[in-house]
Amino acid sequence: MDLGLNGKRAIVIGGTKGLGLAVCEGLAAEGVNLLIFARGQEQLAVSGADLEHRFRIQVLTEQGDISSEADVDRLAARAQSLEDVQILIVNTPRPPSPMRDFLDENDPVRWDAAFRDQLHGALLVLRKLTPILLRTGWGRVVAITSASVKQPMPRHAVSTIFRAGVQAAVKHLAMETAALGVTVNAVAPATILTPTFGTYHDLEERIQRTPVKRMGRPEELAATVAFLCSVQAAFITGELIQIDGGATLALC
């Protein structure tokens, strides 16, 4: 299936490692040029050069932190100067570690860090970059949240609460941009095999709770994101797509 993405450009937040890098690879395989935004300048250079070499696309990079309005403004100005930006991938940093239950989250520093990284930063990106996609009358926004948005998981309080706010923003934005040619969706992964998961003490328990009895692969999430960005997905907006091997049991 030709997704109709060749030659378009995607802004990918946090695209140098983990799920963000997997999404970059999935889009690059479809001929999508990239503008990657991340905190680490060295990793930006390494990942950008590698993606250009492997997929023969153009990769631009911008160093910054999504919790900084000045940094997001600088990214928006860079994107505004480009004529081919039509895709926005909002991938926020991980919550503070270790994960805790709600009543055990007594440290205001952790709450503030999670708020700024997972909700405040995501809202800045959505508000300041979505208007750029509206210029051409065609665009795709995909936010990467968590399966806990649909079905809260133990010890995921700060992640669930703030990522649920991102999902609310996705719904509102989808209503405002649908008639203007821009769809807005979210994907909600769980138990995807990234280096971080090797540190989880309950990893085997999580796998056993997953009906497919294995971990998901980053490229499986990336393929779903690529489809949501495609021309074929034009009638899908405001949705939350679970990528969790059937682990989420909620009916709706």
Domain boundaries, the chain: 9-243
Taking residue 19's Cβ as centre, other Cβ atoms within 10 Å add up to 23
Assigned token pair, 4 = 């109709």
Which residues lie across from 249 on neighbouring strands? none
Architecture in CATH of 9-243: 3-Layer(aba) Sandwich (3.40)
What SS3 state is found at 245? coil
Residues with Cβ within 8 Å of 224's Cβ and at least 6 positions away in sequence, in order, are 187, 241, 243
Predicted pLDDT at 152? 86
Can you list the residues of the chain whose pLDDT is less than 50? none
Taking residue 75's Cβ as centre, other Cβ atoms within 10 Å add up to 23
- Phi, psi (5° rounding) for residue 242? -75, 135
Q: What is the 3-state secondary structure (H, E, C) of 87-124?
A: EEEEECCCCCCCCCCHHHCCCHHHHHHHHHHHHHHHHH
d(CA 24, CA 35): 10
d(CA 91, CA 94): 9
